[in-house]
Amino acid sequence: MSRYTTPRRRSGSAAWQWIVIGMVLGFGCSVILVLGALAAGIASLDPSRAANAPTQTPFIITATPEPVTPTLTPTEGPPTATQGIQLEVQPPTASPTIPATLQTLQPTSAPTTQAAGGTLDTSGTGGSTEPITAAGSNVRYPRTLASASELIALTGGTFAMGTTIAEVSAAVEECLGGYGGEAGNCQLSYGEDSFPQHNVQVSDFSVETTEVTYAQFLTFLNEMGAGSHRNGCNGQPCMETRNESETSNVTFDSANYTVPGVIADFPVTNVTWYGAQAYCEAIGRRLPTEAEWEFSARGGQGYIYPWGNQWDGSRAATRRLADGTLGEKVAVFSFPLGATQQGVLNMAGNVAEWVTDWYDARYYANPTASLPDPAGPTAGAEKVVRGGSWDTMPFFARTVHRQSNDPLDPTADIGFRCVQDPDDQQPGDTSPLGSGAPVGGTDLALPTGSPNPATLGTNEEQVDNAQPTVPPLPTRPVQPTATVTLAPS
């Protein structure tokens, strides 16, 4: 037998033994590590501690780091307990001190006024420019007062106010006959609000000889200040300028009110009732009542026209002149032959005129219409307008005829004149005819391209003014009178 033999292989059944040995060693090591962690307090077998462990908040990196101290959002009251912020509220200290630059804006007492009869600077270039007040009158403006129309004193009395059906019928026939020209559109119903005729007593008063002119009214606006035409007349608009109406002749350039010099002596139009009222009050006068206006126009003789009972186209500016042509607005001193016996001009035609009364078509049948010095209804929707205009037939220019218009609806054919009570008359108020202050200065600068004032608002096809017959609507509230203090010039 050979010394060298084939070696013997180990059996494969011994591999599992090593596996078992490895598991036993691994388990033993794990047990040793757990016991060590429990001993060091790193791990715990209490399940409640694991449940209350804090949740890790993710950390977000932004382009701009958050400020170290966050800005607090102010609140209207102290913070609540949940805000976790404690605020110390300091008690208020003494009243704050107003800076000297603001003290000049604090309201002061009412402006001091001079006594009646004080010295006024009529040139508008120097001297006192403080408004003055007199008993029974409102604030007066020196330059406006200096340019005001002259007054004619009228002795009061009793007269037959209104008309009769026979007179209106005759006037309608004359209107339809055309006054020597084209027939007008007149109806008996247009005169129904002017009867029944009733006796009225009026007290003494003075009436302006002429209608208020552009020169006079713009002196008033310029003295009140730029923009005063918008709401400077007892809180209401005074008039419309060319910025508001194409029929207006008044230019407002944001600083001054002007009209072409050629119409400075024309009667101002596009004036609201409130503008007329405020102008009269500014010079210590007032608008006439309807009774006073008719008493003045009839000249104390009960005339149908200021000069008599027959129409004469050469005595007034209406749509029917003596030659049958259409009339146009003219200067306030025009048609001297058409004046009343006392010398009051253009009470027929040229421009219709605001009076103080509210309009009511049935007022003449009211017993209060026959009381002394009647002042008209206590309320209404429209104001009475008298005298007709250059744009109406003579029928509407009769001294007895009544028209009406919204007080805030100025037109190109309505103007006004003022009256004054005897107690308010000032020295110089009854100056000779035509001796009023001359027109001049920059207030009446002549703009280029101004239209012919006689044609503004004219509509050859327009039907003559008819009268409303519906009951008056509730009156709109009137704003309280605003006091305007004129700054020294």
Question: Which has the closest alpha carbon to 408: 233, 267, 264, 289?
Answer: 233
Residue 89 covered by a domain:
no
Residue 443 covered by a domain:
yes
Residue 457 covered by a domain:
no
| Residue 313, CB-side half-sphere exposure with 13 Å CA sphere | 19
Residue 93 covered by a domain:
no
Identify which has the larger pLDDT, 32 or 255: 255
Give me the mean pLDDT over the 14-30 stretch.
73
Q: Is the pLDDT of residue 357 over 70?
A: yes
What range does the domain containing 421 cover? 155-451
Q: What percent of the chain has pLDDT over 70?
A: 61
**In this structure, what DSSP letter does residue 220 have?**
H
- Give the pLDDT of residue 134: 35
Residue 10 covered by a domain:
no
Identify which has the larger pLDDT, 346 or 46: 346
Residue 326 covered by a domain:
yes
Q: Where do the H-state alpha helices sit in 188-289?
A: 214-224, 228-231, 273-282
Give me the mean pLDDT over the 166-193 stretch.
90
Domains of the chain: total: 1
- Give the pLDDT of residue 119: 26
Identify which has the larger pLDDT, 328 or 69: 328
CA–CA distance from 119 to each of 128, 150, 394, 421, 426 (Å)?
Answer: 8, 19, 45, 21, 12
- Give the pLDDT of residue 16: 66
Identify which has the larger pLDDT, 19 or 389: 389
What token pair was written down for 363?
């007022």
Residue 266 covered by a domain:
yes
- Give the pLDDT of residue 415: 98
CATH number for the domain spanning 189: value is 3.90.1580.10
Q: Is the pLDDT of residue 460 over 80?
A: no
- Of 35-39, 172-176, 421-425, highest mean pLDDT: 172-176
pLDDT, tens only, 160-178:
999 999 999 999 999 998 8
- Of 80-84, 168-172, 318-322, 470-474, highest mean pLDDT: 168-172
Q: Is the pLDDT of residue 292 over 70?
A: yes
pTM score, whole prediction: 0.63
- Of 37-51, 102-116, 261-275, highest mean pLDDT: 261-275
Question: Which has the closest alpha carbon to 356: 281, 301, 423?
Answer: 281
> Please, which pLDDT band fits residue 48 given cuts at 50, 70 and 90?
very low
Residue 16 covered by a domain:
no
What type of residue sits at position 224? M
